[in-house]
Structure 1
Amino acid sequence: MPQWLEVALRTFSALVVLFIITRFILGKRQITQLTYFEYITGITIGSIAAFISLHPDQNWMYGLVALLVWAIVMAGIEYFSLKSKRLRSLVEGKGTVLIKDGKIMEENMAKVRYTSEDLLEQLRKKNAFQAADVEFAVLETSGDLSVLMKPNKQPITPAHLGLRLPNQVEPQAVIMDGELITEGLATLGLSPGWLKTELDKQGILQENVYLAQANQYGELYVDLYDDQLKVPSPSARPLLQATLKKCQADLELFALSTQDQKAKNLYANCADQMRQVMEDMEPLLTTS
């Protein structure tokens, strides 16, 4: 066998084994999420794979055995780390508090070799441009900085305003590359007939749709293959809100125009109830 072909086969074999090992051991972890041991293992098995590829004079089985040994050791540590908090802390380390009660912990900064410039840089990545705005910050084992802003610096949420918003359901893709996705429709309790009606309203053919998504409110977002064509934005909620406002205005008008006191009171009460309904539904109707 020509030496170049042997190198190619050995490289391909090492690549397959390396992919299997990293796929089932490291999983979906990002590079910044690797522990020290996983980082060392990655470098080592990469070196072994390179050795297998570029040294045809050596028995490639020795390299595969070394790869398998590292894989078994790594899998064992991962398994026992799940069972033992002490081992997990030893292998993965612990988070280090850098800011506590608004005070920078200089000793902890020195332990992790963090300078003030490093801290400010990481805070800016969390949209905290003043250290005085931070209540608590911890450097995680992944190297990421978790930040808790002071209460008066935290963004306002609907809960702060006393608003009750409905639970959100994930929008579902109902058309991809012109093909109907029935699972997405079923998840939202919609039918292919509903989808066809919505497309017909906008004068769109299904085969011209690159992507279509529907949400829990029955709104349909459509992107066409032809980027020059404009598709109107979903309007179900704005139309409903406008309809409710018109009904409330009509009831107030009826109350003013009638001379019958009983009817006047009835229309006025209905208008008040409609106003209350609109106030209760406002978070739902105005959520983008």
Structure 2
Amino acid sequence: MPEWIEVIIRSFSLLIILFFMTKWLGKKQISQLNIFEYITGIVLGGIVAIHTIDPDSNFIYAILSMFIWFIIPFAVEYISLKSKRFRDLTDGRSTVFIQDGKIMEDNLKQEGYSTDDLLGKLRDNGVFLASDVEFAVLEPSGNLNVLPKKENRPLTAKDLGLKLAPEKEPQTIVMDGEILLESLANLSLNKNWLETELDKQNVSIENVFLAQADNNGQLYLDLYDDKISVPEPTEKALLLANMKKCQADLELFALATENKQSKALYERNSEKLKHAIQLIQPYL
């Protein structure tokens, strides 16, 4: 067999093996690596490279060495899940850089961080004054997580005493012009609903590049034809406006009639609708 054919066969074979080994090691292996996983990745890549370009090397040795370097991180990961002490050894531990608004200089030196490095990490988190930080910790992955002081945090609905409705994640229901029935079912919707909503906007399914819907049934579209503009969903705003209009109409009817029973009926229903609007407004 010619050497170039052997190199091609070796390359494809080892690449396939490495692909499945990486999948079996889990997503963590290809995201944020600890020191041990970093070394393992380099060694596995080196084994594949050496045995790919050297036709004289024993192919069985390549598979054997890859298997060993697969078993080792797999075993380390398993033991790490069972033992916190072992996990701290392999993954490392978090280091506090700022605590109670005070910079921990000794911890900076321990991790080899200068003041400029710390300020740069803070700027990555949108913080330009170290005095604005209550707590900052360097994770084993190298990311710096920052907790601003309470007065520097954005206001939330909880801070304002607002009660908001729970919200599920939006679903992509059309991708590359293809309807995703499972995503529609996750929102308790169906194909007929989608076709009806598209008809309202005079859009054909063939022209939809991407469509997403939220748990309120509002549809967001992106079309293949960028010259066609698609209006933003207004169902919730229209519903609230219609409810307020009905409540205002009931008040006007109460003022316009001289019949006491009718006036009392209009006023009573107006108050009920006003109360319903107050209850439902946070959801809209």
What TM-score do the two structures reach when normalised by structure 2? 0.92
**2-structure distance, mates of 1:24, 1:226:** 42
**1:165 and 2:157 equivalent?**
no
**1-structure distance, mates of 2:29, 2:167:** 27
Change (3 A) 1:139 1:57: same
**1-structure distance, mates of 2:253, 2:169:** 42
**2-structure distance, mates of 1:281, 1:175:** 30
**1:24 and 2:42 equivalent?**
no
- In the other structure, the counterpart of 2:218 is 219
**1-structure distance, mates of 2:82, 2:44:** 25
Q: What displacement does 1:269 show?
A: 4.1
The alignment's C-alpha RMSD in Å is 1.9
**1:111 and 2:110 equivalent?**
yes
Change (3 A) 1:221 1:181: same
**2-structure distance, mates of 1:270, 1:157:** 34
- In the other structure, the counterpart of 1:3 is 3
- In the other structure, the counterpart of 2:180 is 181
Change (3 A) 1:184 1:21: closer
Change (3 A) 1:262 1:129: farther
Q: What displacement does 1:28 show?
A: 4.7
Q: Unaligned regions of 5+ residues in structure 2, if any? A: none
List aligned pairs for 1:71-110, cutoff 5 A. Answer: 71-110=70-109
How many residues are matched? Answer: 284
3-state SS of 1:50 partner: helix
- In the other structure, the counterpart of 1:125 is 124
**2-structure distance, mates of 1:137, 1:30:** 26
- In the other structure, the counterpart of 2:273 is 274
- Which has the larger displacement, 53-62 or 173-182? 173-182
- In the other structure, the counterpart of 1:236 is 235
Q: What displacement does 1:37 show?
A: 0.4
**2-structure distance, mates of 1:196, 1:8:** 50
Change (3 A) 1:160 1:24: same
**1-structure distance, mates of 2:12, 2:199:** 52
Whether the aligned pair in 1 keeps the contact of 2:94 and 2:137 (CA below 8 Å) is: yes
Change (3 A) 1:13 1:108: same
Q: Which amino acid aligns with 1:11?
A: S
Q: Unaligned regions of 5+ residues in structure 1, if any? A: none
List aligned pairs for 1:36-55, cutoff 5 A. Answer: 36-55=35-54
Q: What displacement does 1:178 show?
A: 3.1
Runs of 4+ in 1 over 6 A off after TM superposition: none
3-state SS of 2:134 partner: strand
What TM-score do the two structures reach when normalised by structure 1? 0.91
Question: Residues 146-170 of structure 1: CA distance to partner in whole angstroms, max 9, x if unpaired?
Answer: 1111111111111111111111122
- In the other structure, the counterpart of 1:69 is 68
